[in-house]
């Protein structure tokens, strides 16, 4: 029982731990999923904003974060190719040997292999042929790569063309001014010529909006285009120290509904509210799921405390626990071992209470009977003792023999009562299944029967023995097994009239060995059969000469159970009784040989 309870407890503990572990990881996976989705949303939004600002360095930073490079294998999210193509960019990634490992929209005049000097010049000048190129060096886990994000510099190429056609010592001559004015206006830009101090000395096309440029103005416009609404291309003539600039108004990107910080704030607030609502929902759900069964158990314990074992759960509560088909509802399925154990415990307590009441009644009946059983023989022994002690009577030899026989019989009867008590307490402290050894049933039962055949006090009882044709071995404790047979045989002798025939037979069937003790005596009724092995039960006959303390058959039952056997009774009034014992056989090489035994 303890092992079973421990097993149920262990199984329930594992299930409860697994249940909460799964819930814990599910919650955190949900939170992690929300956070990751939010991060991806923010990154996607940042990428969109960077593309809208059209700042190559920002675009390249965002692109590099989302690009995966393993050796010569490059994976770029599907979002980027379309966006880069729409903005007119091309992308090239080269490894540490200068060889191209990835390209996107790369023109044919862009090389696939670079030298160290080539890459250094591109990085410094930010130009490759007619393209403006932004570079980004990246080193991850020992792999070194260089990103090249390029776009055709239309204004720069046009500026070189105009300078070569119309420049005269760094200035535009009057003869070419009109022609250049028309070309500048046709493409919608402004062309200015700056002297070495940064002042505008010539201007063509649209107004530039500047009269002079500060020392850092052009640097700011070139390196931080996000702060300027103008794209600038320039050409510097070292000889004349004049600088030609083409200024183009930057196209306004489509404005977004929310700034990026506001978007991040809203996303974070949304995540917080979602987690808060999820926590509140889980708290309510856990309270409903786990609080209800606990209250149910508390009410059950209150009823058990009042001794109401038959109705630990009311009918209404059972409908909450079980569905129409008798299955546990989802809310209580987690506790099905606890509920089953709870009900089983209540049933056992109810049975124990009823058994206790029954045993108390049986004990009272037994105490009444045993008092009578002891008082009667003691009265006889005491009476004969007084007669012998008084010296008032003369006793013949036959009378003394009769008195001595009577005293011996009464003493033997009382001694058997005491032996039954002693055996009962010994069974509580020592298991008959201890010190087992192989026991050959034919010879052992034959010798047990011979003891009664040779008993001169049992002349009016006929004993017979039927042996098995093969040797039968079982694992048994000889002392307790002898006590078992003595109890069964003496019980048959005591409860039957003189002339009764008692037969013991040993039978083999497969892996089992059987011992049958049958008689053709008075038999017993159904009530006596049902309670034959109950402790202190004495049947309906209370005659002192044929009855004991009511412990003999309960002792026999305990001995059989300790030997992993079974005991059954078959009886009818007036037709006799048969006690059937069954034990598991032991296998032995010489089990097939028939023993030579004679009664």
Q: Which two tokens mark 108? A: 């044919």
Average pLDDT over residues 103-110: 88
Bridge partners of 117? none
Q: Tell me whether residue 35 is in a domain.
A: no
CATH of the domain at 351: 1.10.287.130
Share of the chain above pLDDT 70, in %: 73
For residue 220, count CB atoms less than 10 angstroms from its CB and return exposed for 0-12, middle for 13-18, buried for 19 or more.
middle
Residue 590 has pLDDT above 50, yes or no: no
Q: What is the pLDDT of residue 180?
A: 83
Q: What are the tokens at 140?
A: 């991850």
Q: Report the share of the chain in percent with pLDDT over 90.
A: 10
pLDDT of residue 591: 45
Q: What DSSP string runs through 127-173?
A: EETTEEEEEEEEEETTEEEEEEEEEE-HHHHHHHHHHHHH-BTTB--
Contact criterion met (CB below 8 Å) for 209 and 124: no
- Domain span holding position 207: 155-249
- Going by C-alpha positions, the residue among 340, 275, 281, 288 that lies closest to residue 313 is 340
Written as six digits, the tokens of 596 are 């030579």
Is residue 535 within 8 A of residue 588, CB to CB? The reply is no
Say whether both 161 and 140 belong to one domain.
Answer: no
Whose structure tokens read 């493409």? 187
Q: Are 84 and 117 in contact (CB under 8 A)?
A: no
Q: Which of 192, 225, 249 is the last residue of a domain?
A: 249
The Cα angle at residue 402 between residues 399 and 406, in degrees rounded to 5: 140
In a domain, 30, yes or no: no
Confirm if 563 and 432 have CB atoms less than 8 A apart. yes
Q: What is the DSSP letter of 514?
A: E
What is the H or E stretch that residue 336 is in?
Answer: helix 336-390
Query: In terms of Cα–Cα distance, which of 320, 530, 551 is closest to 421?
Result: 551
Question: Among 409, 122, 537, which Cα is nearest to 111's?
Answer: 122
Cβ neighbours around 175 below 10 Å, total = 9
Mean pLDDT of 250-256: 50
Residue reference for tokens 């980027």: 80
Q: Does residue 254 sit within a domain?
A: no
In this structure, the chain runs to a length of 599
Residues 6+ apart with CB under 8 A from 577: 492, 518, 519, 521, 523, 524, 569, 570, 571
Judge if 440 and 562 occupy the same domain: yes
Window from 41-55, 128-142, 174-188, 287-301 with minimum mean pLDDT:
41-55
Look at residue 27 and tell me if it is in a domain: no
Instruction: Return d(Cα 254, Cα 135) in angstroms, integer.
Output: 27
DSSP structure class, residue 467: -
Look up residue 355 and give its two tokens. Answer: 């058994």
Domain stops at, among 230, 249, 268: 249
Is the domain of 585 the same as that of 438?
yes
* Cα–Cα distance, 473 to 438 (Å, whole number): 6
254-291 pLDDT, tens digit per residue, is: 443 444 445 665 776 787 778 778 777 777 776 666 66
Q: Are residues 483 and 588 in the same domain?
A: yes
Write down the pLDDT at residue 256.
Answer: 36
Between the two ends of the chain, the Cα-to-Cα distance in Å is 45
Query: DSSP readout, 277-290?
Result: HHHHHHHHHHHHHH
Q: Nearest CA to 108 among 123, 130, 134, 79? A: 130
- Predicted confidence at residue 447, as pLDDT, reads 92
Which one, of 536, 555, 540, 539, lies nearest residue 371 by Cα? 536
Residue appearing with tokens 């009900």: 343
- Residue 156 C-alpha from the chain's centroid: 70
Residues 508 and 552 placed together within one structural domain of the fold? yes
518 assigned to some structural domain = yes
Q: Which of 307, 342, 377 is the last residue of a domain?
A: 342
Asked whether residue 60 falls in the same domain as residue 82, the answer is yes
Which pLDDT does position 1 carry in this prediction? 46
Query: Is the residue at 41 inside a domain?
Result: no
pLDDT at 4 over 70: no
Residue 49 lies in a domain: no
How, if at all, do strands 566-572 and 200-205 pair? unpaired
- Burial of 554 from C-beta contacts in 10 A (0-12 / 13-18 / 19+): buried
CA–CA separation, 111 vs 106, rounded Å?
A: 9
Q: What's the CATH code of the domain at 183? A: 3.30.450
- One domain, residues 440 and 417: no
Query: How many domains are contained in the chain?
Result: 5
Distance of CA 230 to the CA centre of its chain: 65
Maximum alpha-carbon separation in the chain = 182
CA dist., res. 341 & res. 128, Å (int): 82
Neighbours of 176 (CB within 10 A): 14
Residues 408-423: tens digit of each pLDDT: 877 877 777 676 666 6
204, 305: one domain: no
| pLDDT value, residue 231 | 74
3-class SS of residue 579: strand
Which tokens belong to 65?
Answer: 């974060």
Tokens of 481: 């097994």
* 452 and 493 housed in the same domain: yes
Beta strands in 326-385 (DSSP E): none
For CA atoms 410, 415, 417, 418, the dihedral sign is positive
Indicate if 205 and 310 belong to the same structural domain.
no
CA nearest to 295, candidates 329, 328, 321, 260:
321
Residue 538 pLDDT level (bands cut at 50, 70, 90) = low
Give strand pairing partners of 440: 473
Same domain, 455 and 474: yes
| Confidence category of residue 504, pLDDT binned at 50, 70, 90 | very high
Instruction: Indicate if 378 and 518 belong to the same structural domain.
Output: no
Q: Side-chain half-sphere of 465: how many Cα atoms within 13 Å?
A: 21
- Residue 592 in this model has a pLDDT that exceeds 60: no
16-20, 124-128, 499-503, range with the lowest pLDDT: 16-20
Per the prediction, the chain carries an average pLDDT of 77
Q: Assess contact for 311 and 347: CB atoms under 8 A.
A: no
In this structure, is residue 34 part of a structural domain?
no
In contact, 341 and 300? CB cutoff 8 Å: no
């Amino acid at each position: 029982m303890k092992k079973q309870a421990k097993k149920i407890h262990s199984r329930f503990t594992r299930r409860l731990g697994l249940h909460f572990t799964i819930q814990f990881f599910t919650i955190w996976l949900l939170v992690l999923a929300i956070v990751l989705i939010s991060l991806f949303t923010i990154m996607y939004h940042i990428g969109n904003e960077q593309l809208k600002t059209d700042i190559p360095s920002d675009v390249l930073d965002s692109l590099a974060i989302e690009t995966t490079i393993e050796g010569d294998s490059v994976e770029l999210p599907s979002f980027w190719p379309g966006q880069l193509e729409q903005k007119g960019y091309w992308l090239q990634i080269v490894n540490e040997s200068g060889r191209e490992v990835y390209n996107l929209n790369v023109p044919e005049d862009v090389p696939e292999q670079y030298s160290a000097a080539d890459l250094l010049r591109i990085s410094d000048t930010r130009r490759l042929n007619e393209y403006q190129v932004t570079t980004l060096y990246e080193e991850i886990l020992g792999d070194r790569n260089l990103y090249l994000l390029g776009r055709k510099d239309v204004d720069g190429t046009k500026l070189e063309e105009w300078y070569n056609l119309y420049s005269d010592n760094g200035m535009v001559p009057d003869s070419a001014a009109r022609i250049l004015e028309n070309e500048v206006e046709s493409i919608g830009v402004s062309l200015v010529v700056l002297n070495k101090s940064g002042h505008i000395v010539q201007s063509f096309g649209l107004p530039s909006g500047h009269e002079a440029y500060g020392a850092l103005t052009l640097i700011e416009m070139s390196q931080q285009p996000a702060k300027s609404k103008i794209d600038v291309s320039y050409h510097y003539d070292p000889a004349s120290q004049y600088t030609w600039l083409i200024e183009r108004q930057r196209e306004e990107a489509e404005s977004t509904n929310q700034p990026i910080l506001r978007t991040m704030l809203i996303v974070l607030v949304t995540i917080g509210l979602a987690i808060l609502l999820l926590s509140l929902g889980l708290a309510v759900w856990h309270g409903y799921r786990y609080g209800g069964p606990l209250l149910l158990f508390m009410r059950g314990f209150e009823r058990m405390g009042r001794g109401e074992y038959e109705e630990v759960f009311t009918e209404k509560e059972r409908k909450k626990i079980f569905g129409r088909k008798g299955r546990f509802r989802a809310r209580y399925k987690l506790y099905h071992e606890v509920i089953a154990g709870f009900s089983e415990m209540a049933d056992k307590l109810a049975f124990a209470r009823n058994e206790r009441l029954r045993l108390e009644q049986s004990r009272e009946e037994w105490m009444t009977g045993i008092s009578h059983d002891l008082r009667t023989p003691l009265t006889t022994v005491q009476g004969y003792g007084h007669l012998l002690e008084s010296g008032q009577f003369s006793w013949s030899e036959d009378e003394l023999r009769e008195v001595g026989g009577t005293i011996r019989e009464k003493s033997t009867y009382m001694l058997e009562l005491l032996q039954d008590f002693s055996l009962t307490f010994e069974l509580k402290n020592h298991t008959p299944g201890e010190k087992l050894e192989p026991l050959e049933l034919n010879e052992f039962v034959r010798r047990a029967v011979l003891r009664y055949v040779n008993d001169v006090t049992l002349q009016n009882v006929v004993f017979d023995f039927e042996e098995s044709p093969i040797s039968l071995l079982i694992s048994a404790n000889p002392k307790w097994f002898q006590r078992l047979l003595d109890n069964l045989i003496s019980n048959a002798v005591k409860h039957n009239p003189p002339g009764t025939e008692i037969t013991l037979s040993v039978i083999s069937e497969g892996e089992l060995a059987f011992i049958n003790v049958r008689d053709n005596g008075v038999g017993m009724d159904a009530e006596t059969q049902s309670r034959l092995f109950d402790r202190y039960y004495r049947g309906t006959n209370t005659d002192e000469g044929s009855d004991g303390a009511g412990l003999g058959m309960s002792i026999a039952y305990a001995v059989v159970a300790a030997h992993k056997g079974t005991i059954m009774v078959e009886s009818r009034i007036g037709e006799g009784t048969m006690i059937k014992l069954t034990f598991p056989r032991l296998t032995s090489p010489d089990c097939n040989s028939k023993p030579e035994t004679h009664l």
